[in-house]
Amino acid sequence: MIKVGIIGSTGYAGGELVRILTGHKEAEIKWYGSRSYIDKKYAQVYQNMFQIVDDKCMDDNMEELSREVDVIFTATPQGLCASLVNEEILSRTKIVDLSADFRIKDVKVYEQWYGITHPTPGYIPEAVYGLCEINREDIRKARLIANPGCYPTCTTLSIYPLLKEGLIAPNTIIVDAKSGTSGAGRGAKVDNLFCEVNENIKAYGVAAHRHTPEIEEQLGYAAGEPLKINFTPHLVPMNRGILITAYASLKKETSYEEVKAAYDKYYASEQFVRVLEQDVCPQTKWVEGSNYVDVNFKLDPRTNRIIMMGAMDNLVKGAAGQAVQNMNLMFGIKESEGLNLVPMFP
């Protein structure tokens, strides 16, 4: 049985980790960390866990926690995990960090986009970017995982095969993304109040969203060269879900069959990436509550461009589900354990 500790267990991603791990046959949560709710029963924070979780919340003492568990999930704001991690801790336990602290390999880029000084940049080269469908073998050997961001996960998986196969021009990519409000976290913010969000949709972080360099870095690896994109996220009045619609110029005249073959080459054997049937557009409702990413595409011969689409649950495959998928790989157990979650409908 894998002993698990969660720092940040009372945020939305942390709560989703608890939900998933409660049904995991080979893992047991030993530490419900939450700086805001120390000594309060977890089920009083999340009443859905009444008579399911009896434990109280504890602090975020990673040093002590590392002596008690096999893996630590840090579902915390940027900078916290990097400020706590050290060699002694990593010698005792594995870490899956859900923040951006170790995702971007160039520390100067991280500091520029996140506006903080990285306290432990020496661990950035070691950290494995935890996009399981692409970095599976490196994840198996890792002790520190940089769990990908939600927008980068959906965007990268939607576009990756076409860049790898050289079908699209890298510097023509435009990404339009939409997310439910849980992506903004559980903290109280005026912009997330019901009256601000309901019956409204808005762009935010235009030309400045901090997931941009993460997406560019990962797509650059696929393309085999650095690239730049236009990335514009939008907030929509729903709890969960991400939908991305990406556009790029084709390098040559390309058939549906050729593009479909590219997606199948990379995803035919992937349980959690579903390439939809022709002309079926991904919808967030068809992946809600699950670890699936639905992807598809549409060729536009009139403009010699292609539209790539992806939908997923931002709290599952975009955060907690992907983190558990990483844990499963790190401990050599079935990758899908705890993650065979049928999408909820309606």
Residue 71 main-chain phi, psi, to 5 deg: -150, 140
CA-to-CA dists, residue 212 to 99, 133, 228, 311, angstroms: 15, 20, 9, 18
Antiparallel, parallel or unpaired: β 293-300 and 305-312: antiparallel
Contact partners, residue 54, CB within 8 Å, separation at least 6:
41, 43
Max CA pair span of the chain? 62
Omega before 233 within 30 of 0, i.e. cis? no
What 3-state class would DSSP assign to 29? strand
User: CA 242 to CA 234: how far, in whole Å?
Assistant: 10
User: CA 328 to CA 57: how far, in whole Å?
Assistant: 25
SS3 content of the chain, % helix, strand, coil (to 5): 35, 20, 40
User: CA 225 to CA 123: how far, in whole Å?
Assistant: 24
Residue 244 main-chain phi, psi, to 5 deg: -115, 140
CA-to-CA dists, residue 6 to 29, 42, 313, angstroms: 8, 12, 21
Catalytic residue among 150, 154, 195, 281: 150
Structure tokens at 344: 């909820």
Strand partners, 5: 31, 72
Active site residue 132: no
Using alpha carbons only, what angle is made at residue 16 by residues 15 and 18, rounded to the nearest 5 degrees?
A: 65
E strand or H helix that includes residue 259? helix 256-267
User: CA 131 to CA 139: how far, in whole Å?
Assistant: 9
CB 272 within 8 A of CB 133: yes
Instruction: Supply the residues annotated as catalytic.
Output: 150
